[in-house]
A and B are shown apart, each in its own frame.
Chain A
C-alpha cells in the first residue's frame, strides 16, 4: 500500500518564515483581508446570536445556500464579477429563500424544519445548475465563481474587501443602535408588541442583517459552512455567560479569533479553502468551552455533582449517628461501623472514606468502639434531624401524606433546607413536638448561630 503524502509537505522553517511575514504585513493586502475577516467574524457572530435566541439556529445555513443562485443569476445577467452586483443578487435570492422558509409552514402542512431543508437544498441545486450552465457559456472571467462554495480568503480583491468593510460596519452599527429593541423582541416578541414596538419591521431588519452577513461572508467562509459562523460562536459564548451583552461580546471575540486563525492558514497554504478551517477553529473553541467553562462547563458540573454527593453522604452519616445516639436514650455516644451499617446501607469503603472526612472536619472523633460525635458534629446532626422531622410533620399535616410516605421525601430535602425555611416550618407547626413516627423533634439551640458563625455559613452554603 502506498502511503498518502501531503500535497505540500509542511516545512517548519519556511512555515515560520511565512508566519513572520504574515504578521509584518509587508503585503498590505494581507492586512486588509485580516481586518475584513475579523469584522466578518464579529458581525456574523453577533447577528447569529439573535437568530439563535429566536430559536432559528440553522437559518444561516439555509440563507447561505439560498444566496448561491442569486450570485449565479447576477453573473449570467450582467456578465461581471463586480462585488456589488454579486452582493445584490445574493441578497435578493437569499431574501426570497427567507420568505419561503417563513411561508411554507404557515400555509401548508410542511413543518418548519422540513421547510428549511427544502429551501436549502432546492436553492443550492438551482445554484449548482446555473453554475454548471455558466461553465458551458462562452464568457470571460467565469473561473473562480465556484470559490464561494468553500470560501477562499486569499482570492479576495480590494473591491471585495471594501464591500465587506462597509457591510459589516453597517451590521454592527445597526445592532448597537437597535440593541434594546432586538433584545426585547428576541426574548419576548408579544411583550414588545404590547409596548407598541413595530415588531414586524424590526424582524424584517433583523432578517436583512442576517442575510447581509451571510452573503458578505460567502467569499471568506463559503456557502456550505457559513451556518457554523453564525451558530457556533453564540453556542460557545452561552457556556460562559447568561447576560446577553456579555454573550454578544464573547461571541464576537470568538468569531474574530477564528477569523484570525483561518486567515493565517489560508495565507500559509493558498490552495486551502478558508471556510473549513474557520469552522474547525470555531468548533475547537466550542468543545474546549463545553468542557472547561467556569459556570456551565461539563467538568465544573461534574465536580459540583460530586461535591453534592459527598455532602449528602456526610450528612446522612451524621443523622444516622444521631439516631443511634437517640436509641441509647442519649447516654452512649460511641458507635462502630457495624452499628452505622445496621441503620444505613452503605458500602464499607465509601463509609470509611466519608467517616475519615468527617473526622478531619472535626465532626467526629475516633473512640473506643469506633466513632463518636463531637460537639460540633452533634449540633449539625441535631439540626439535620430537626429539619428532617419538621418536614415530615409538614407533609403529614398540611399535605395529608400518610406517615409511611413522608420519610423518603424528607430524606432528600433535609440536605437543602435553609435556616429561614426551617424557621418558617417551625412557625407553621407551632405545637408539634413529635414527628409522624413518634420521634421527638430536637430543639434548636438558641446560642449556636452567634457561637459558630463560620460553621453555620458552611453548612448552608457548601
Chain B
C-alpha cells in the first residue's frame, strides 16, 4: 500500500511538473523555473514561521507570493538595474534561497524542515504523514498529505491548461500577435509563474527544492525534441515524466538509493536515450540521402 501511495504521489508530481515545464521550455524560461523552485523554500519557511501551520493553503500562499516576487524582482532588476536577465535571476534566487536555508538552520528542529529534506524531499516518508478526516480519534485515514497537496495542484494545472489552451498557445508561440489581439501577455506570464510556484511547493515534500527542477525541465525538453505540436508535446512530456517515475522507482529499489534522486536521474537518462536515437536516425538518414544522391 505504501508503495502505491509513493508512486501515485511521484506520478502526480512528475506529470504536473512536465505539463508546466512544457510552457517554460517553449517560452525559454527554464531558468525561471530553476529560480522559483529555489526561492519557494523561503516562502514555505516564512509561511510556517508566521502562521505556525502547515496547512496546504498557507504553504501555497507563501510559495506563490515568493514565486511571483522572484519573477517580478528579476524582471525589475533586468530593466531598472540594466543587468542581463539571467544574471538578475541568479542574484534574486540565490539570495532568497540563502535566506531560506539560514532560517531553516536557525530554527532547526522546529520548522519540521531540515537542510536534507530541502534537497531530497522525503518521498519515502510520504505515506506516514496522513490526513485524518473527521475527529482525531475515530476519523478516517484518507491518505498522505503530500498526495492530496499535489493532487489538488495537479487539478489546478490541468484545468488551467485545458481552459486557457488557446490563450496559452498564442502567448507562447506568438507573443506579439497575442499582444495585438488584446491578450494580456503580462497576466499570462505571471499566471504561468503562479502555476510553477504551486507545482514546486506541492512537490516540495516529495522531491525537494532542486530535484523538482529536473522534473520541470527534463521531460519537457525530451518532448520538445520529438513533438510536433503543443498538444502532442504536452502528452509526450507527461509520458516521459510517468516513465521516469516508474523506472526510477525500480532503480532506487535496486540500488537502495534515494527515490526522488533516482527518478530525476531516470528522466535524464531517458532524455539521453532520446538524443542518441535521434542522432543515430540523423546519421542513417544522412547516409541514405547520400546514397540516393550517388545512385541518381
A→B interface (CB under 8 Å): 1-2, 4-7, 52, 55, 57-58, 61, 65, 107-111, 113-114, 116-118, 120-122, 124-126, 128-133, 136, 146, 149-150, 224-225, 227-228, 231-232, 235, 239, 271-273, 275-277, 279-280, 283, 286, 290, 296, 298
Contacts and interface: CB of A to CB of B under 8 A. Distances in A.
Contact of A280 (B30, B84, B95): B95
Describe B's contact surface by its main secondary structure. helix
Contact of A122 (B29, B80, B218, B224): B218
B94 A283 contact: yes
A224 B91 contact: no
Contacts of B255: 129, 133
Given A149-B115, A283-B95, A286-B91, 19 more contacts: A61-B90, A110-B221, A114-B217, A117-B30, A122-B268, A128-B211, A128-B258, A130-B257, A133-B255, A150-B101, A224-B119, A228-B90, A231-B87, A235-B81, A272-B102, A276-B97, A279-B94, A280-B98, A283-B94
Contact of A126 (B101, B120, B260, B268): B268
A124 B30 contact: no
B91 A228 contact: yes
A132 B221 contact: no
Contacts of A224: 38, 97, 101, 119, 210
B261 A118 contact: no
Interface of B: 25, 28-31, 33-34, 38, 49, 52, 77, 80-84, 86-87, 89-91, 94-95, 97-99, 101-102, 105-110, 115-116, 119-120, 210-211, 213-214, 216-218, 221, 224-225, 252, 255-258, 260-262, 264-265, 267-268, 271, 275, 278-279
Contacts of B271: 118, 122
A136 B192 CA distance: 40
Contact of A110 (B31, B99, B213, B224): B224
Contacts of A129: 252, 255, 257-258, 261-262, 265
Given A6-B106, A57-B84, A58-B86, A113 B268 contact: no
Quick one: which of B82, B90, B213 has the most chain A CB within 10 A? B90
Contact of A121 (B91, B97, B213): B213
A239 B88 CA distance: 13
A231 B91 contact: yes
Nearest to A104: B275
